[in-house]
Chain A
């Protein structure tokens, strides 16, 4: 039922393209796009390119999450740290991270490190902010409970603060992953010579439109899979939570 509208739209597109109501050159029918996709995986290197994008994403995400979560936690618990770091986050958060790419390329050359780092920075701010929010918005009475029942210092942290912040941290990781993917794909579109983003660009320049739409759809599918998948994981792991949110 939920697929009725998208399938209907695709069917309409197929019809319009076949009948040449729209130019099949610029808007190839979905059947041709799916053939191109299949061919790309079986005969071409579509699988390899997808892997390239995924690898960059994984690295970027790890690079972002590992420092961001501890930083967010620290900021949440120690006022001085928060005050010292806040101005940078406030200033850099609204900046398009793609604008950092040229700087990174000067420092690190035009290659993987610059690409991955751009993706990492995109995710980094989101994860830090979400983690911080997780600590700041926890039910303060849980701290009372912890202390009244004998949990202090490190114990209070591991048994009360960390679990309480976990849903927000998880949401931050989820959003961060989405942001990292977007950043990586954009970087590939603009500056890389491999990866799904680059494929869209290349096929655009050579007007091999079925392949272009194919790569395009693949990016969408990847994004969807990752966000939905993570959301399902979050529901599974945080059994005790009620609603992880729509996005």
Chain B
């Protein structure tokens, strides 16, 4: 979506639609068409959001979430890329691990919490490891695909021009797989957010997920909406921020749509 000077005029609907919705909501809620208890006015939500930021509550909950996402992502990324590369390069390994992955991958990460809590002391580590689960599989999987889809002719040509072993890996295989790896990382990061919220709901007292659940339990509806807004914003940043970064760093690659 390139933004030229004519963009707004051509795509006015994209902007007008949500704006109209918000205005409609504000009005409907104010006049009682929508129950304000269930659908607080957007302006009220913003006020509550301001308050949460001002008194530090938001930061107090956002930081743990962010650090967990960071930790989980780092864990999933490092392990995932390494495993994925290994599986991409060695067929035996891939064939051996494939069935294991196939069974474990569809299980929602949060369900691993009990298992992880047996292995690792209860607390941040357990939360981080659990959050990393699905992301790990995703990143490993896309990395493997990334290696496997490299045009064998390109590899052959590179070999012919003297690239072997380490050099072949760093000059051909790694860059060739990079677009896929990047897509996997982007998806993995997005998933880390999704899982961390669920994990926090189950088992944490601090964190955006915990804040959301807490607000629900005491029926502070405006706070719920405010927290949701923050989570959505975080999701957008993680999803689209990385996509933009990717376009910068890997200009030669087209985006690989997940299959």
Contact = CB atoms under 8 A, between A and B. Distances in A.
Given A6-B103, A204-B114, A94 B236 contact: yes
B99 A186 contact: no
A85 interface: yes
Interface in A176-200: 178, 181-182, 185-186, 189-190, 197, 200
Q: How large is the interface on B (under 10, 10 to 19, 20 to 34, 35 or more residues)?
A: 35 or more
A94 B96 contact: no
Contacts of A204: 113-114
Contacts of A3: 99
Interface SS, B side: helix
Given A4-B96, A94-B235, A96-B231, A189 B110 contact: yes
Contacts of B11: 83
Interface stretch (B12-20, B25-33, B41-49, B82-90): B12-20
Given A4-B96, A9-B100, A178-B106, A102 B212 contact: yes
Given A83-B14, A98-B201, A219-B107, A106 B221 contact: yes
Interface-centre pick from B14, B111, B118, B219 (highest chain A CB count, 10 A): B111
Contacts of B15: 87
A9 B97 CA distance: 11
Interface in B54-104: 95-100, 102-104
A4 B100 CA distance: 10
A220 B17 contact: no
Contacts of B224: 102-103, 106
B129 interface: no
A83 B106 contact: no
Contact of A103 (B111, B114, B195, B228): B228
Interface stretch (A30-38, A42-50, A221-229): A221-229
B257 A133 contact: yes
Contact of B106 (A4, A96, A106, A220): A220
Contacts of B202: 189-190
A26 interface: yes
B216 A105 contact: yes
B232 interface: yes
A244 to B, nearest CB: 8
Given A6-B100, A96-B231, A84 B14 contact: yes
Contacts of B221: 106
A154 interface: no
A247 interface: yes
Interface in A62-114: 80, 83-88, 90-99, 102-103, 105-107
A186 B17 contact: no
B38 A95 contact: no
A102 B240 CA distance: 26
A128 interface: no
Contacts of A245: 259
B213 to A, nearest CB: 7
20 contacts: A2-B98, A5-B96, A5-B100, A23-B118, A83-B17, A84-B17, A88-B17, A94-B190, A94-B238, A98-B198, A102-B215, A106-B224, A182-B106, A185-B107, A185-B111, A189-B108, A190-B201, A220-B103, A220-B106, A227-B106
Given A106-B38, A224-B102, A247-B259, 13 more contacts: A2-B99, A26-B118, A90-B236, A93-B239, A95-B231, A96-B198, A96-B209, A98-B197, A99-B197, A103-B228, A216-B115, A219-B111, A228-B102
Interface of B: 11, 13-18, 38, 95-100, 102-108, 110-111, 113-115, 118, 141, 145, 190, 193-195, 197-198, 201-202, 209, 212-213, 215-216, 219, 221, 224, 228, 231-232, 235-236, 238-240, 257-259
